Every structure is written in C-alpha cells, then in structure tokens.
A and B are shown apart, each in its own frame.
Chain A
Amino acid sequence: MDEKVLVVDQQKCTGCRLCEMVCSVFHTGASNPSRSRIKVIKWEDVGLYLPMACNHCEKAYCVEVCPTKACHREPENNNRVTIDKKLCIGCRTCVVACPFGHPFFDISERVTVKCDHCDGDPQCVRFCDVKAISFLDADKANVSRRRESAGRFIDSIRQGR
C-alpha cells in the first residue's frame, strides 16, 4: 500500500508553530502563518497543542459540494484531495462544508486553498523539530501506538511474575 498520510502525535507537539511558517513559505512565499495550510490549535491553559491539517477524507464533503470540480481527488498522486487554483471560484462552500474547518479562504489570492502534501514532501514533516508530524504509509500509522501498548502489556506480565 503506497498511500501515505500525515500522522500527528499530539503528545509530542510543543506548539512552536514552525510547521505553519514553513508551510506558508513553501506555498505562498510569505512567512505568514495565517496563510499556512496547517494550523496548530492551542489550549494554552492545559498545555494541549494539536496541529490540524487536511485529512484527505475518503468521502470528502469539499469534493461533493464544489461547483466547478476545482476541489478534486487525485488517485494517481497519493490519493490526495486538492484544489485547482485555476478553477476555484472562491465560493467558500467547501469551507462551510468541511467539518474540520480545513480549506480556508486566502484573502490575497481570492481562492480557497488546502493542504496538498507539498507534492509528496510535506514541509511540516521535514522541519518539525520534535517529529510530532510524520508522513507514513496509511497501514503503518498505528504501529507506534501498537508497539507502545504491547510494551505496556509486556511490562504488566513481567510485574506479574
């Protein structure tokens, strides 16, 4: 299976927002985090940070509601959901439809933009210092958690002896 997904380890994220910076530099040329395709959602009072990017849903609402097929799925390209800027009319229906609030309206370009995995080399993964985001094969996404729970299981067995 060669489909890859962005996996976020929320426990590791420090909320430095470097991913937002590199994302906006890569896509727009400006170091403006408000134009980045990934957003770090913060709950400062309890210290929770969650980077949120597009999930490239199997049944994507944004694709369903797009009136011009600008928002489409590319099976040949990692099965990603992406928006063709040349076709987008900026109606913002996908922004309303997305339950994750992900596609967002770029004020300077007047179109809706969203995560496109940086054409196979996500900059957020490349620059994340603490490796909170990783770009893994979809079937290996849970391996680390499985290993962790297996480790706990083994620990409990050892303690039982």
Chain B
Amino acid sequence: MILLVEKKLFSIKNLFSYDTKDPMRTEHTHPIRNTKYLKPQEEWKGIIAIYLYLAGMGAGSFIIGTLISWFNIKPDPPILSSINLLGHTLNLSSVPILWGPVVVAIGAPFLILDLGIKWRFLYACLNPRTSWVARGFIILSIFIVLGLLLLAKSVLPFEWLRPKSVLWRIPEIIAFIFAFGTALYTGILLKATKSIPLWNSALLPLLFLVSGLSTGSMAMILSTLGTGFFSHDARALKVLMVGEQVLVIIEAIVLYLLLSRRYRAAEQGKDSVRLLVFGEMKMIFWGGVVVLGFIFPVVLENIASFFPGNVAWIFVAGILLLCGGFFLRLGILHAGIREQIPMHRLMEIQYNAAGKTKEFGARRPRNLSLGS
C-alpha cells in the first residue's frame, strides 16, 4: 500500500507548542491530497488532549464510584480514615471513590489555558445556546460544582449533612447524569466540528465515554487498592476488575468500529485512519493505545489473578492503562484531517490534466496519485 503520509519523526515539542511558528512564515502549502499537503489539524494539540483525558477519566471514575456507593458496599476504614483539622474530625472514608470531580476540576483549566485570551472564557459561559463549546462549559461547571459539594458532604463531619431521607439521592443522581454528560461531551466537542471526517461520527462520543469509564474504573481500582478500601471484601474488587476488563474490550471494539467506519466514510477519513494506523502516528496508536492501553493491562491483570497477594501487577497494569487512555485522545486529535472541498477537486483535476501533458509530465510527482 502506498502511504500518502509524510514520514517524519514525531516530536513531542511540536505537539505541545502553539507559538513556535515563525511569524514571518508564509503560506505556500495547502492541505490538498498530496504527500506534501496532507496535514492533520494543528489547532488543537496536547493541551486539549490532557483536558479531554482528565475530564473523561474523572467523570468515568465518578460514575463508577457513585455506583459503588449506591450498591451500599460497606467499606473497610481506609488506611487514613480521618484527619483532624481545627478541632473537627474530617471523615475520609468515601474519598477513594468520590475524587472524580477533583480530576475534572484540574482538567478544566487546561481548556482555558488553550484559549488565546484566557480571561474571556467567561464570555463562553454567557452564551450556552450558541455552540457545544459553550454548552460544555456549563456541563463541566455543573458537574464540578455538584461533585465537589458531594465530596465535601462526605468529608465534613457535621451530622445534619447525613440525614436518612431518600431525597438526598437527588443531587447524586443529577451529578451522575452530568458525569455521563461530561464524558460524552469530550467526544461531542470534537464531533461538533463537522469538517473533520474522522471525528464526525456518533461513535466518537461513545468511544470517549467507554474510554472514560475504563480509565475511570482502573483509577478507581488503584485508589481503592492504595487506600485499602476493599481489603475486607475481595469479591467487590474482583467484580470491579472484571467490569474494567469488559470495558477495555468494549472500548477496543468501539475503536475498531470507529476506524473502520471512518475509513470508508470519506477520503480524508481514510487518510486519517492511515495516518493513525500506518503513518506518522503509528507509534502512538500501536504502542500507546493498543499495547499500553489494551493488551498489557488485560494480560497483566490476568497474570495478577494468579498471585492474589501481589498488587504490584495491578498497579503496573493500571498505570499503563491510564497512559493508554491519554494516548487514545492524543492520537484521535492528531489524526484529524480536514475534508476535501470542491475547489481542491478542481485543482486536482487541473493538476492531473497538466501532469499528463508532455511539458509537465517529467516533473509530475509520483505520489500525487489519489491512492488505493
């Protein structure tokens, strides 16, 4: 198969920088279908990937944590069950399962950091009906505020915060729904920019939701293991781990479906998939997403099941899976190639017509053929 992809070493510096462009750089090229011009979008880079990852992982872990608390599993007192602060005893027993909003709150500033003029992010909050970026601000703020309040409620020692009434479940349910919204929104944000075929699919929000759930549940396993949350009840941990492996497998299936559908959807979708699977991004895709994210964790967890006492295997698997979740976002972001416009098709026809004449025939680059 002829690769239409520029083979260039993947530099991390290039991923995270916006302003290294030479201001005097002039625009000679344009992303027409040519080796030279086939470039993925360069606007959203590593910072957005970090944000997408933290938001998805935090929301996923909150969903799993809320489910654990709803199933009313009586946890063991963790290693550090309470601390004294200014004469009040803070109850830390639920922190290992409800820390999700903190991670989302850490991730959200990355979205603001990416803006050209940072303080103007408030403008986006004021126009929720305009676009998905603005709606995302609202969804994220509601989730972060509600989630942090629920976390504070579980930590603070006051008895009046813990009534028996079922009505107190309502804020939990709302936060649960908004956690789903946050995880889905990370995909919808990309889907809403319709001109990139790789992203313009309903499977992308689903992929990010499933990925958020799998990374979130893995992070939950790590935090509960690290704090001895399930030390009395090994079965709960086992259920969680089986669920996590099922989620990883579902994630792999959804990723396969997304890539295969997008491969057939548009020429640029095909280019994106090629870029991801065989091209410049192949180290990130095969190394980061497939090996670190899918294969290693599942294999290591199955090995770990033979050594019940040894949690080091699970920790290694968990950290690899968390890295894989990040690389998935990075890969999807960096493989986004814009759709072709009719004008480019005209240019291609003229270019090819010109290439067939004797005058230009010798100089016509071979790789301009439209592939496949």
Q: Kindly state whether residue B196 has any CB partner on chain A within 8 Å.
A: yes
Q: Kindly state whether residue A141 has any CB partner on chain B within 8 Å.
A: no
State in angstroms the CA–CA spacing of A66 and B360 once bound together: 43
A67 with B23: CB separation less than 8 A = no
Interface size on A (CB < 8 Å)?
A: 44
State in angstroms the CA–CA spacing of A39 and B43 once bound together: 18
Q: How far is the CB of B178 from chain A (nearest CB, A)?
A: 19
State in angstroms the CA–CA spacing of A30 and B336 once bound together: 33
Provide the residues of chain B in CB contact with A39, threshold 8 Å: 27, 30
CB contact list, A80-109 vs B, under 8 A: 87-93, 95-101, 105, 107-108
Q: Kindly state whether residue A123 has any CB partner on chain B within 8 Å.
A: no
State in angstroms the CA–CA spacing of A61 and B347 once bound together: 23
Interface secondary structure of B, over-half rule? loop
Q: How far is the CB of A80 from chain B (nearest CB, A)?
A: 19
Q: Kindly state whether residue B267 has any CB partner on chain A within 8 Å.
A: no
B26 with A89: CB separation less than 8 A = no
Interface size on B (CB < 8 Å)?
A: 50
- Out of B18, B124, B338, B343, name the residue touching A91 (CB < 8 Å): B124
Q: A50-B347, A68-B124 are in contact. Are A93 and B116 (CB under 8 A)?
A: no
CB contact list, B75-131 vs A, under 8 A: 114-117, 120-121, 123-124, 126-127, 130-131
State in angstroms the CA–CA spacing of A97 and B196 once bound together: 7
State in angstroms the CA–CA spacing of A151 and B133 once bound together: 52
B193 with A32: CB separation less than 8 A = no
Provide the residues of chain A in CB contact with B133, threshold 8 Å: 65, 67, 91, 93
State in angstroms the CA–CA spacing of A14 and B29 once bound together: 16
B130 with A101: CB separation less than 8 A = no
A68 with B127: CB separation less than 8 A = yes
A107 with B19: CB separation less than 8 A = yes
B44 with A96: CB separation less than 8 A = yes
Q: How far is the CB of A112 from chain B (nearest CB, A)?
A: 7
Provide the residues of chain B in CB contact with A69, threshold 8 Å: 127, 130
Q: A45-B363, A92-B43, A101-B30 are in contact. Are A34 and B131 (CB under 8 A)?
A: no
A89 with B117: CB separation less than 8 A = yes
Residue in B41, B120, B339, B347 whose Cβ sees the most chain A Cβ within 10 Å: B120
Q: Chain A: residues with CB nearer than 8 A to chain B?
A: 17, 32-35, 39-46, 48, 50, 52, 61, 64-70, 87-93, 95-101, 105, 107-108, 110-112
Q: Chain B: residues with CB nearer than 8 A to chain A?
A: 18-19, 21, 23-31, 41, 43-44, 114-117, 120-121, 123-124, 126-127, 130-134, 137, 192-196, 336, 338-339, 341, 343, 347, 350-351, 354-355, 360, 363-365
- 12 inter-chain pairs at a CB distance below 8 angstroms, sorted by A residue, are A34-B27, A39-B27, A43-B347, A48-B350, A50-B347, A67-B131, A68-B124, A70-B123, A95-B41, A100-B343, A101-B31, A112-B116
Interface contacts beyond A64-B131, A110-B116: sample of 12 additional A-B pairs, CB < 8 Å, sorted by A: A43-B351, A46-B354, A46-B364, A65-B192, A68-B134, A90-B117, A91-B116, A92-B44, A93-B131, A97-B192, A105-B43, A108-B23
